[in-house]
Amino acid sequence: SAGEPGKIYRWPLESTLALEASVSDDYQIQRVEFYRNGQFLGEDNEAPYGFTWDIPGAGTQTFTAVAFDAVGNQAENTITVEVVRN
């Protein structure tokens, strides 16, 4: 998830967006990958799993977190965030 559900980010007053993935699994989580509009942003290998994205401007963004466990299973969650110029 990103910040608060339904929150509208006001750029440039807010210049970053903190992405967090709450993950639990029967096996050990190996990593969580973060994507914006299908483009790879980065990954986190240790809990708490997160990524800070620098907001470049106004627009609607879609973020996806993909979690991978030690045996290769994966799960993903997608959210959409709105950024308005303030």
For 29-73, the pLDDT digits (tens) are 999 999 999 999 999 999 999 999 999 999 999 999 999 998 989
Beta strand pairing call for 16-21 and 49-54: antiparallel
Question: What residues contact 9, with CB distance under 8 A and at least 6 apart?
Answer: 3, 17, 55, 81, 82, 83, 84
Q: Write down the pTM of the prediction.
A: 0.89
Task: Say what the pLDDT of residue 4 is.
Answer: 65
pLDDT band, very low/low/confident/very high, at 28 (cuts 50, 70, 90): confident
Q: How many residues does the chain have?
A: 86
In this predicted structure, what is the pLDDT of residue 26?
Answer: 73
Whether the pLDDT of residue 2 is over 70: the answer is no
**What pLDDT was estimated at residue 15?**
95
